[in-house]
Chain A
């Protein structure tokens, strides 16, 4: 493993620790629009946009592992969902070819909706059931809006702090990856 890869790994680990600390300590306790932001998902999306599908999937898997521990969920549920999100967001960005704040907003919104929908399916199978439109109105849509709105400034902050590559640099590397 080269020095450059070690630096990337170090930054990913730093982000991961930050995500765990912030989600567990602060974010999960602050409710906006009746829901709390899912920082694990948000960072998975940002990593996938900035670093690619494999890094996104890896980050999502471990983020899901910690989410399961922190929120008393059966281990594996969030691993599965975040891994899917990380991988497909990375794939999407590699194909779409342009990463503007609006694209980040769109990706984060769709990711949050998909993640909530999958988690809803899981809950529907093993836990409480509720009318589809009720849960869309009180959980999925507010969560989608909140996650999407939070993702954009965090993404821009991370680019500014060089925790992830700037979109143009990232796009060049993704294109060269040929995926």
Chain B
């Protein structure tokens, strides 16, 4: 026992630091069934009902804050919307013509049209009850877990109200990376470690849509020879086995090229406005014959359509980030 108070404080400090480092080491090294992970899972299980309740309790605060924030830009927004309305009225006439044409063509397409999602896909609607506290990561916590059939690597889609600069509001949200009994953690496609094999409709250019710490989406690995125009829709290609094909991701906003880069630099704006994401839908994909795709850990390079990338194994559960 140290003799004086200062030495005692230092001893406590050293013990706490050693305990922290020991916890960190064990967190990374032990298996998922280890005691530290079990404690963490149990703790998360206890906190999840609180968080679910908190999500409802926080709604008035969030709404109030959003109201105050948006009221400042309301006038400017109204002017912009009036101008946009005039433009859209002109487009509406054009679209009506196209719609009639589409209706005729649709009859033919229906003959061989298949759904966006594979047959027997089931959907689980979940509420967002938590969000990542820093910009280093982009994930949301949902109130559905393994008890509802949610498993790691299942794709998640969502619909949000159309933001001022969002063209649709509906599309791919991300994939499940951690599951507890009653909650799940969903890695958003804007996460810096997220990568989705994708293609651009119209040009059929294929590449990888990657997130970033700043929250923007970039489509990489698209050959410079392929012509890509802005405003084209980006959808999943289905490569990698995590995301089904043809799920809308976003829209091409800018196409750039650098002399030193053999690929194009394509900026993509996601359809989903992640700032206001409140509900999502988990796709419970049917298992492939002879395999259980939803529980198989898919290597990150497969998810990227075969292109290698750095992979971080999170210690909380079996996930590839």
Q: Chain B residues near A134 (CB, 8 Å)?
A: 213-214
Does chain A have a CB within 8 A of B222? no
Q: Does B212 contact A (CB under 8 A)?
A: yes
A76 touches B135 (CB 8 A): no
Q: B19 to chain A: which residues have CB within 8 Å?
A: 61, 79
Surface stretch bound by A, among B22-30, B105-113, B118-126: B22-30
In the complex, identify which listed stretch (A28-36, A102-110, A153-161) lies at the interface while the others stay far away. A28-36
Tell me whether B227 is interfacial, beta carbon within 8 Å.
Answer: no
- A29-B55 contact, Cβ under 8 Å, with A72-B178, A76-B20: yes
Q: Is A168 an interface residue (CB 8 A)?
A: no
Minimum C-beta distance from B71 to chain A (A) = 16
Q: Which residues of A contact B133 (CB under 8 A)?
A: 28, 36, 38, 71
- On whether the beta carbons of B21 and A119 are closer than 8 Å, the reply is no
A7 in contact (CB, < 8 A)? no
Give the chain A neighbours of B134 by CB distance below 8 A.
35, 119, 139, 143
* Interface set, chain B 202-223, CB cutoff 8 A to A: 212-214
Nearest CB of chain B from residue A136's CB, rounded to whole Å: 11
Query: Is B17's beta carbon under 8 Å from chain A?
Result: yes
Which residues in A have their C-beta under 8 angstroms from that of B55?
29
**Does B193 have its Cβ within 8 Å of any Cβ on chain A?**
yes
Judging by beta carbons under 8 Å apart, are A80 and B17 in contact?
Answer: yes
Q: Could you tell me how many residues of chain A have their Cβ less than 8 Å away from some Cβ of chain B?
A: 53
User: What residues of chain A lie closer than 8 Å to B40, measured between beta carbons?
Assistant: 68-69, 75
Contact A128 B17 (CB under 8 A): no
Which residues of A3-33 have CB atoms within 8 Å of chain B's CB atoms?
21, 24-26, 28-32
Please report the C-alpha to C-alpha distance between residue A60 and residue B16 in the assembled complex, in whole angstroms: 10
| A-side contacts of B178, CB under 8 Å | 72
Q: Does A100 contact B (CB under 8 A)?
A: no
Interface 0/1 of B1-15, CB less than 8 Å to A: 000011011001100
A28 to B62, CA, bound (A): 11
Work out how many contacts link A and B, with CB atoms closer than 8 A.
Answer: 157
Inter-subunit contact A25/B24 (CB<8 Å): no
Which among A25, A35, A54, A60 is the interface contact of B54 at CB below 8 angstroms? A25
Complexed CA–CA distance, A68 and B58 (Å)? 21
Do residues B131 and A79 form an inter-chain contact, with CB atoms below 8 A? Answer: no
Known: A54-B8, A138-B213. A80 touches B24 (CB 8 A): yes
B229 to chain A, nearest CB (A): 29
- List, in ascending order, chain B residues with CB within 8 A of A83's CB: 13, 16-17, 20
Chain B residues near A75 (CB, 8 Å)?
A: 23-24, 26-27, 36, 39-40
**B312 adjacent to chain A (CB < 8 Å):** yes
CB of B237 within 8 Å of the partner chain: no
| Shortest distance from the beta carbon of A35 to any chain B beta carbon, whole Å | 7
Docked-complex contact A28 and B47, CB < 8 angstroms: no
Q: Report which of A21, A74, A128, A178 forms a contact with B28, defined as CB distance below 8 A.
A: A74
Check A138–B136 contact: CB distance below 8 A. Answer: no
The minimal Cβ–Cβ distance linking A33 to chain B, given in whole angstroms, is 11
Task: Give the chain A neighbours of B312 by CB distance below 8 A.
Answer: 126-127
Interface status of A57 (Cβ within 8 A of chain B):
yes
B57 within 8 A of A: yes
Q: List 19 A-B contacts (CB under 8 A).
A: A24-B54, A25-B54, A29-B61, A29-B130, A35-B134, A54-B12, A57-B16, A69-B39, A75-B36, A76-B25, A76-B26, A79-B24, A119-B134, A128-B192, A128-B213, A135-B213, A138-B135, A138-B213, A179-B5
- Give B residues with C-beta under 8 Å from A: 5-6, 8-9, 12-13, 16-17, 19-28, 36, 39-40, 43-44, 47, 50-51, 53-55, 57-58, 61-62, 65, 130-137, 139, 141, 178, 185, 191-193, 212-214, 275, 312, 314-316, 321
- 17 more contacts with CB within 8 A, not counting A58-B16, A61-B16, A139-B213, are A21-B50, A24-B51, A26-B61, A29-B54, A54-B13, A65-B23, A69-B43, A70-B43, A72-B316, A76-B21, A77-B24, A83-B20, A120-B136, A130-B212, A135-B136, A177-B5, A178-B6
